[in-house]
A and B are shown apart, each in its own frame.
Chain A
Amino acid sequence: MNSESFYLEIGNIDDDLILEAATTIITLTYQELFDYYELEQFPDMLSNLHRVEVINYFIYQDSESVIYDTNVLQYKSADGEQTLSIVITKEDSNYSAFEEHVKQSRIDGVPLVLAKSEELAEGQKQSVYWAEISNQEVYLRIVSHGMDEASFTNIIRELIKSQK
């Protein structure tokens, strides 16, 4: 076999290996994550919820640009009954999950999109509140479980304050 034939044989390696090598995974610390998004760090406590420590965050990059940069920060109450997820991404929004239940609003002068839905938790109906805030470059999608509307709104207010 000559090297050209061997080169072509390498061409037929499994797809998943090629796809893995096509992407670079960049590991970020909490600080680097916020530097990447050009945001101020979020508070470690939001109301009665504390941030769940995660060692590393990731962005995925091809040879020239970032292709996937969605990361999730988790907060929860001491008893674990209330949880909050903050999805941070530079990818554009998609409201399809909530369809007509989405409404435009404003908190402390900052425009945002709000939605509410119901879910069943241990046989009980529970409200899920959802908000999206954007500065046109970075999107924050915030989802709460086990919280009422006032608590959720207060947390959004705290988050907005942390960026001013």
Chain B
Amino acid sequence: MTDESIVALFWERSENAIKNTAEKYGRYLMKIAINILHIHEAAEECVNDTYFTAWKQIPPDCPKELLPYLGRITRCLALNRYDYLTAQKRSVDFTLQLTELEECLRRPDTIESEYEYRELSSAISAFLRTLDAEKRNIFIRRYWFSDSIADIAKRFKIGESKVKVILFRVRKQLGKYLESEGYSI
């Protein structure tokens, strides 16, 4: 079923909207939630909450592509749950991902206004478009889908050390790029 048809079901308030969403994207969303939380039950709840949130938001939302739309919801919900977990229960790999991202930040502990963040994701997109496809996709797999280094290495048929080197360089480049664009984050 196409995304357009599924979104139409949401607009019609048909329960098949959730059934079809789960069939098409359940596996993707579960993978993202598991990558962040590493606890199956919590990930499952997170995915169910994603469907519920989509049900509440569509309409008025009318997403053209459901995968990024739903994935963003899952990421936010999983991150909220991650915050509530004790340090012992937190996913070591996801904690590592957040630590890695600090390398892009000049002032990781400061709080800025929403105004200062404006267009930041557009700047990140613009930066990613300057990279070759492999580097770009490795970065997105790591920091959007939250894949482990091992999963990325397997997916791109390269060694784990190469993945780490690519990510390290891209993070550095991204930090410099954002600085050059006037972001003091």
Contacts and interface: CB of A to CB of B under 8 A. Distances in A.
Contact of B137 (A8, A9, A21, A64): A21
Contact of A6 (B69, B101, B125, B141): B101
Contact of A18 (B108, B117, B120, B140): B140
Interface string B94-105: 000111011011
A17 B128 contact: yes
B181 interface: no
Interface string B47-88: 000000000000000001101110110011001000100000
A63 interface: yes
A14 interface: yes
A18 B121 contact: no
Interface in A6-29: 6-15, 17-22, 24
B67 A12 contact: no
Nearest to B108: A2
Interface residues on B, range: 35 or more
A19 B98 contact: no
A149 interface: no
A13 B120 CA distance: 9
Residue of B128, B136, B156 contacting most chain A CB atoms (<10 Å): B128
Nearest to B145: A21
Contacts of B67: 18-19, 22
A7 B108 contact: no
A11 to B, nearest CB: 5
A17 B79 contact: no
A5 interface: yes
B147 to A, nearest CB: 8
A124 interface: no
Nearest to A6: B101
Main SS at interface, chain B: helix
Contacts of B72: 11-12
Contacts of B112: 1
Contacts of B104: 6
Contacts of A9: 117, 120-121, 124
Contacts of B151: 63
B101 A7 contact: yes
A38 interface: no
A67 B62 CA distance: 25
A115 to B, nearest CB: 26
A147 to B, nearest CB: 35
Contacts of B27: 63-64
Nearest to A13: B125
A137 interface: no
A37 to B, nearest CB: 21
19 contacts: A1-B110, A1-B117, A3-B101, A3-B102, A3-B105, A4-B98, A6-B185, A7-B98, A9-B117, A10-B101, A12-B121, A13-B125, A15-B68, A18-B65, A18-B67, A19-B65, A21-B136, A21-B144, A63-B151
* A-B complex: 8 closest residue pairs judged by Cβ atoms: A12-B121, A21-B140, A3-B98, A18-B68, A1-B185, A21-B137, A15-B68, A3-B101
